[in-house]
Structure 1
Amino acid sequence: MNSSSDLDFLLPELRSHVAQYFERNDYYQAVTEAFKLVRLRLEELTGNESASRVFGENTLNEQYWGKIYGCSPNNQREIDYRRAVGYLHLAIQYFRNELVHQVADERFDRNLALSYVATANLALHCIGPGLPEEWFDLFNTELKAVHGAYRARRWFYSDLASGGWMSKLSEGFQADALVPSQLQRLKEAVLADLELQHSYDRSNIEFMKLEFVAGQLSDEDIDVIITAAESNPNNDQSVGFEEFLRYCKQKYPTLASDQVENALSRRAVAE
């Protein structure tokens, strides 16, 4: 497909950077420019453009983690994620080193170029600044505003089950405005402060947050959420729990599928 539409998945800055080369079928230059942008982003964040220096040959160098992610890792999973990002950037560095020894019109067709550029896109998507504390406060205010704008609770719960409420968020708070490392940090913060037995309204907001980061949740995270939601059966305040489970089942069917199904079954029996 020789159309710019096959570039739509790229981050806007990368898409605008390489589109001109795809338009004139200069696929070699499109790839080299994509890799160059990754290198420049590393330099912008760390002052060093070399992935091997920033991440280390074994990706265990933590010197620049604060500059890249804006925060320290909270657990081993987050450390593993950062190592994976490091290996991705090392791969791009080595690919780029290989490209400089090729003839410009050699080897590349559109599909292969798109594959290389997609790798650069992922590398860019995975690095970025952390979320400042004031962002969390603004995000919480945004969720409360969206929640409070529903004129009837049944409309809210319908949107909670489908995830439709997220379309009502302001542009700056859309999930695609955050890079994966920021979503991961938000997930950790949400789980750390999770409170599902305080009040109906608090639980509604908590489940909105959990749906927002659902793509980052692990099976273990789902276990934590289910335990918190079912911790007070005599005075259950976890309103929105069933809708959250249905959202996960629909949107992420492989995510803790047994736990989700069992929790839904227990919910049905309780009713």
Structure 2
Amino acid sequence: MNSSSDLDFLLPELRFHVAQYFERNDYYQAVTEAFKLVRLRLEELTGNERASQVFRDNARSPEFWDEIYGCSPKGQREEDYRRAVGYLHLAIQYFRNELVHQVADERFDRSIALSYVATANLALHCIGPALSEEWVNLFYAELKAVHGAYRSRSWFYADLASGGWMSKLSEDFQADALAPSQLRRLKEDVLGDLELQQSYDRSNIEFMKLEFVAGQLSDEDMDVIIAAAESNPNNDQSVGFEEFLRYCKQKYPTLASDEVDRALSRRTAAE
């Protein structure tokens, strides 16, 4: 397999870090460096490089949740997810401990090395540094630029319903490049400043933000969004609401609740 194509799935930082070792078939070192990067990221976020110090109490300890996730879990499902992340990082610590006692060329071929590096990739993807205020501001400016570039509202709303507008974002603002923890923090920021009754353009941008983080939305979040969109029936400004709901139903079936269906029915009946 081509040495570049089989690394394409890795986060850019990790891919850059290990590519040189794969190029010279030094698979042991590629795995070692991948695990080292996970350890360094954990230390960067928490001040502790050992997963066993961060994910204590059978990976249930909430001590470093703010540093790792930026917010409290909403419900048991998210707590279970955080426990799984903890076990993943613990596994990498113990894998790494075992690696240091191996002969460098023992047992490693390309496919096995890729499997280990993929584990490190997932561990990095599940945690991440907070998005800077500068990045968030630039991202919101990018959304406004993409919105403003549409020559007709009908084209925009068609893309809002399908999520097609996201293909127009520059490489620096692709959701796939963000860790789930970063997307969750961005979601909290979006919901915290949600305004759907100020103007049509403001609502359009808000629904773009919401679609960008839709994979992190819960049923409770959807209830908040629906309430905000329906809060001013006499002078409704929440244009794009129907398209947003249809996008969520199509892209994320778990969000297709009875309440979403009822909101769609109310919106259709009002037209």
TM-score normalized by the length of structure 1:
0.83
Write the distance in 2 (CA, Å) between the matches of 1:17 and 1:143. Answer: 31
Write the distance in 1 (CA, Å) between the matches of 2:135 and 2:22. Answer: 37
Distance verdict in 2 for CA 1:56–1:96, change over 3 Å: same
Write the distance in 1 (CA, Å) between the matches of 2:155 and 2:221. Answer: 27
> Which residue of 1 is the match for residue 72 of structure 2?
73
Write the distance in 1 (CA, Å) between the matches of 2:145 and 2:187. Answer: 20
Write the distance in 2 (CA, Å) between the matches of 1:266 and 1:72. Answer: 33
Deviation of 1:72 (Å): 4.8
Which deviations, in whole Å up to 9, do the C-alpha atoms of 1:224-263 show, x marking residues without a partner? Answer: 2223223333432211011112222232233335444443
Contact persistence 1:195–1:206 (CA under 8 A)? yes
Deviation of 1:60 (Å): 4.9
> Which residue of 2 is the match for residue 15 of structure 1?
15
Moved more, 18-27 or 115-124: 18-27
Deviation of 1:47 (Å): 4.0
> Which residue of 1 is the match for residue 33 of structure 2?
33
Deviation of 1:213 (Å): 0.4
Q: Hey, which bits of structure 1, 4+ residues long, moved more than 6 A? A: none
Amino acid at match of 1:253: P
Deviation of 1:205 (Å): 1.2
Deviation of 1:221 (Å): 1.9
> Which residue of 1 is the match for residue 161 of structure 2?
161
Amino acid at match of 2:72: P
> Which residue of 1 is the match for residue 42 of structure 2?
42
Contact persistence 1:218–1:256 (CA under 8 A)? no
Residue correspondence of structure 1 range 1-271 to structure 2 within 5 A: 1=1, 3-61=3-61, 64-65=64-65, 67-68=67-68, 71-73=70-72, 75=74, 81-271=81-271
Contact persistence 1:146–1:169 (CA under 8 A)? yes
Write the distance in 2 (CA, Å) between the matches of 1:63 and 1:218. Answer: 24
Moved more, 127-136 or 91-100: 127-136
Deviation of 1:97 (Å): 1.9
Task: Could you tell me which runs of 5 or more consecutive residues in structure 2 were left unpaired when the two chains were aligned.
Answer: none
Deviation of 1:79 (Å): 5.9
Write the distance in 2 (CA, Å) between the matches of 1:253 and 1:66. Answer: 29
Amino acid at match of 1:73: S
Amino acid at match of 2:17: H
TM-score normalized by the length of structure 2:
0.83
Amino acid at match of 1:254: T
Deviation of 1:10 (Å): 0.2
Amino acid at match of 1:139: F
Distance verdict in 2 for CA 1:161–1:68, change over 3 Å: same
Moved more, 257-266 or 215-224: 257-266
Distance verdict in 2 for CA 1:172–1:269, change over 3 Å: same
Contact persistence 1:74–1:188 (CA under 8 A)? no
Distance verdict in 2 for CA 1:110–1:265, change over 3 Å: farther
Write the distance in 2 (CA, Å) between the matches of 1:136 and 1:16. Answer: 25
Amino acid at match of 1:100: V
Distance verdict in 2 for CA 1:138–1:16, change over 3 Å: closer
Deviation of 1:35 (Å): 1.1
Distance verdict in 2 for CA 1:194–1:74, change over 3 Å: farther
Deviation of 1:4 (Å): 3.2
Amino acid at match of 1:237: Q
**Would you say how many aligned residue pairs link Structure 1 and Structure 2?**
270
Task: Could you tell me which runs of 5 or more consecutive residues in structure 1 were left unpaired when the two chains were aligned.
Answer: none
Which deviations, in whole Å up to 9, do the C-alpha atoms of 1:89-124 show, x marking residues without a partner? Answer: 112112222333445445445444323211100111
